[in-house]
Structure 1
Amino acid sequence: MDKVSKSVVPQRSPLLWRGCPRMPCGFVRPHVVVRNTDVYVGGGTCISFEYSRTVFKYDTVHECWSSLPLSPYYTFGLVVAKGLVVTVGGTSVLSSLTTNKVCSFDERGTKKWCHLLPSMATERSVCSAVSYKDYIIVIGGMGEGDNEYLDSVEVLDLTSNQWSLASPFPLPVTFMSTAVCQVTDRLYLLGGLSPHEGAIRSVISCKLPELLASTSPLSKDHTPKVWERITQVPFVRAGCAAINGKLVIASGLEDKHLTANTVQCFDPETKAWSVVGTLAAARSSCSIAVLGGAQIMLLGGYVDPKNWPSSLTRDVMATVNLNV
């Protein structure tokens, strides 16, 4: 397994942060997506059952929070597809069972969550989900059975509205952070949990065109190997983003179970990590939104690893001068 590089590139200037209006509620590992100038947050772990069903919207222009109507599910994945905010899987409020449903928020019409897209083949909650071009890609999560971790990968073709199975993930997994790099057409996953490895230290990646090609019936006879472990993370439970072809992580837990206080960048060409700045305040298990101008926004997480339920943070911080 690759070793973490200790090389550090000198900073040009200290990383500056600005505070944004606080979230209505604290979340652990929330799903965060961006649509135009709005940031949507939902689907993570929360101490409020009502808030766990809510998708919150942050308007970056007017700098204010609002909320969408309550979802019929919680512990869902969250994506933006066809201009719609979409939840994937989760747990039903009515039955407490894991679902395979895909819900879209009808913002222009009924103002309700609707089943406009077909259901997945597999019921799953706390999965990872991303959108890429005309596809929704769903990885891992928890099945209906107790401790049933999933390694299956499903892809929804939004042009045909058909789900297909893709090359499975290397291990059953849940709670992973995801980042799609549009520059290199790569998907990165890191920081999740697996019954095989516990807290995952690897960054696992694939070329998205190869992953999509693995859904073809012609590929089923030889199960293409599209996933690869490309490096190890300096700390676990980090939020991640892809910027300028590089992978950026922030917050997390270090080996001594202390909250990490650095923002680090992985360059796929040099295969080395570098520190690009420090956090305004250390936290773990946050998520990252990428704003215009290669800036990042940190949302959610907790401050005290020994007592996370009472240390959930609502603070939202955005970089002023990130340079990667």
Structure 2
Amino acid sequence: MKKKKEVTIYDLAKELKFSPSTISRALNNHKSISQKTTKEIQKIAKQLGYRPNTLAASLRNNKSKTIGILIARINRPFIASIISGVEETARKAGYNVIISQSNDKYENEIANAKAMYDSRVTGLIVSLGMETRDSQHFKQFIDQNIPLVFVDRVPVEFNSYRVIIDNYTAGYKATQHLIDQGCKRIAHFAGAQHLNVYNLRKKGYLDALRENNLEVAEELIIDLDTMSFEEGCDGTKALLNLPQPPDGLFSSNDTAAVSAILTAKARGIKIPEELAIIGFNDDPMASVVEPALSTVSHPAVKMGEISAQRILEHSSKKLDSNISEITMLDTEIIIRSSSNRINTTRLLETS
């Protein structure tokens, strides 16, 4: 079947006996064109199947009304919530959103960043992949004054907008919660330490132990490359096989924490009486696993909204993209059955 010819502004001009410039202004609701003429032109354009060429417009203006999002894995609930916040904010402002994932691969991230740059996005929102140690592939955006917002996993080597949480305090509070429940030998699932989120959570964990005069045992700190379910299972087995297994576990994400619950239960370990567990992110799985997983809230939607707003503000006010601005959001501990030893003990005593 022969492809139907694309309707252009010039076709509309010929059909309606207006100049191409008048057609263009009417399609963009320009005030110089009367409402009656605008409605007439837009009506005929719709009937003829006219579609605006946004790519051509972006090439002419060297700017599109599109915000790019470059993330590690789109199937993670936390990332999906960030995207939701970005899209909602962008849509209200009349912007589109394009999404690209690196699958935590450094080479993919470099290629995706170039594709976003070549697409002339208005701005780019990034959460770094697990493999990323050098972020110089984003310098092209800074050099061209294209707003760049890093969210959650952020680099430190150059100035940019950053939207983060207080990972250190969150890690400290999560560990302190386990200590308050009576845990004395607390393990930690630590993610890739070159990434700010996992490095700071580990520091909070360590300081909480030290300030409570508890031993920092290296065999209780398990480094997980991807923080996956499978790695969580293997890490839990390693901990339970120790001569002195832990009685508490702080995991840097919920995925590995849930796998720890299931693996420990399969070994006959009572949760939380013998092993109290707390995760991080408050993913949907946290509330459906049995027992329900205690966790740290992560304001992902809000982080997405703020990230998009920074790009919109830059676009409207022509701010310098070479700005080091950090927005830090609060978190809270959500206590559920997987770590709530005190209430569990009280329940057993009264039953």
> When the two structures are superposed, what TM-score results if normalisation uses the length of structure 1?
0.26
Question: Which structure shows the bigger proportion of residues in helix conformation?
Answer: 2
Question: Which structure shows the bigger proportion of residues in strand conformation?
Answer: 1
> When the two structures are superposed, what TM-score results if normalisation uses the length of structure 2?
0.25
